[in-house]
Amino acid sequence: MGLLSRKVTCNSHGQDSSYFLGWQEYEKNPYDEVKNPKGIIQMGLAENQLCFDLLESWLAKNPDAVSFKREEQSIFKELALFQDYHGLPAFKKALVDFMAEIRGNKVSFDTDHLVLTAGATSANETLMFCLAEKGDAILLPTPYYPGFDRDLKWRTGVEIVSIQCSSSNGFQITESALEAAYQEAQRKNLRVKGVLVTNPSNPLGTTMSRNELDLLVNFVTDKEIHLISDEIYSGTVFSSPAFVSIMEVLKDRKLENTQVWERVHVVYSLSKDLGLPGFRVGAIYSNDPIVVAAATKMSSFGLVSSQTQYLLSAMLSDKKFTKEYISKNHKRLQKRQNKLVSGLEKAGISCLESNAGLFCWVDMRHLLSSNTFEAEMELWKRIVYDVKLNISPGSSCHCTEPGWFRVCFANMSEDTLKLAMQRLKSFVSSITIDNQTHQDLKNMRKKNRTKWVFRLSFQSFHDREQGER
């Protein structure tokens, strides 16, 4: 052990979080309709599998892109040889155009400000290396994506300080919560370098309001710190209110020539909107040329393959396809989310009203044996091991209120979701019966105890009366 680094031997990766532990239990006993119908259904993985038919249809109609040909001539050798880490110009152009299309073309993006990374995980970590030193702090609103404990902290040494949000206002960010987090960091002698938000939110499945975005811009301007907007779910917004990018806010407020302009950075990926997490395509968009230059150099540690870039540049340049995909993706996500919400309602469970993402923020507080995180973990274990559903407990997302869970709906078939809801409904019914039986017993004991106290009091009074006579 003495020959290994402290990074290898320390336990700071976050792999022991219940978020990851649920995955491990699923992998030991994965549900399969034919081979393992009593296995664990994976509802803790935010994958978008609802539009694979659209992607596969496009691939079938565009064989040249798949076989790496240009005008029927093979370019395999060109793609197989070394490529500059700045990325293929055609792909970067197609990607920024797709990002603008998702945002209703209300904002545009410059390829010179774009850095390609191996997914959003790499993008967020790279930004941490660019913006902060070891021991500096980044403020994050709770609840937040459990992977941030790994992505932002593990290798960089950056600390996370929570912005405490509450269900009382739908977990929206408030000015007092921002200031409290900033003061908390200062009490810990941590220098705050920025705020990171996910918009749309993971795990809430909601878009940030314009008031929240304006509040954030005002806050980072006043504190002279950075703002990172992780917008990897921007193309999953399926109902109102519409998605508003932080870049749109800056443009509307005419902040292009101000200092805050260069301190706002966007993270994007094709993992969620296009359902391609295995392709490992992420990006940093920054208006600071120094950040872009440094991040580009760092990207050599996690490049996107030339073959992937070539294929996706052809796909994203097909505007007829992207328009159809975005529209159908929204409709399918909304339909599937409605099925989850309906299934939960039938089980007597509600969730936070949402309009985006691949999951719902589900309220199971009424199923807790007590209002504690210990009770939340007890409930979570029963759902994983007995009900055979892997969902993510709110504590893994640093939620301050026990009893909330993130439940994914887009990574499975409709039949599998239906089965998951049937399992959950049966479980809730059994809990209700158990609780009713428990309550009946309590009431019976209370009733008997009352009778016993009455009889005892009456006997004492009678004895006393006899004694006085």
Query: Could you confirm whether 225 is annotated as catalytic?
Result: no
Query: For residue 247, is it left (φ>0), alpha (ψ between -120 and 50) or beta?
Result: alpha
CB 226 within 8 A of CB 195: yes
Query: What is the CA angle 138-139-142, rounded to 5?
Result: 135
Q: Is omega for the bond preceding 141 within 30 degrees of 0, making it cis?
A: no
Segments of 231-310 assigned E as strands: 264-269, 282-286
Query: Could you confirm whether 418 is annotated as catalytic?
Result: no
Element (H, E) at 381: helix 373-382
Query: Could you confirm whether 112 is annotated as catalytic?
Result: no
Tokens of 442: 């309590």
Catalytic residue among 173, 232, 246, 391: 232
Catalytic residue among 97, 149, 151, 230: 230
Tokens of 297: 């150099």
325 φ, ψ (degrees, to nearest 5): -60, -50
Q: Closest by alpha carbon to 231, among 164, 175, 282, 170?
A: 282
What single letter denotes the amino acid at residue 25?
E
* Whole-angstrom distance, CA of residue 284 vs CA of residue 107: 16
Catalytic residue among 136, 272, 288, 388: 272
CB 115 within 8 A of CB 371: no
Catalytic residue among 26, 31, 145, 268: 145
Residue with tokens 């994050």: 140
Query: Could you confirm whether 151 is annotated as catalytic?
Result: no
Known catalytic residues are 145, 230, 232, 272
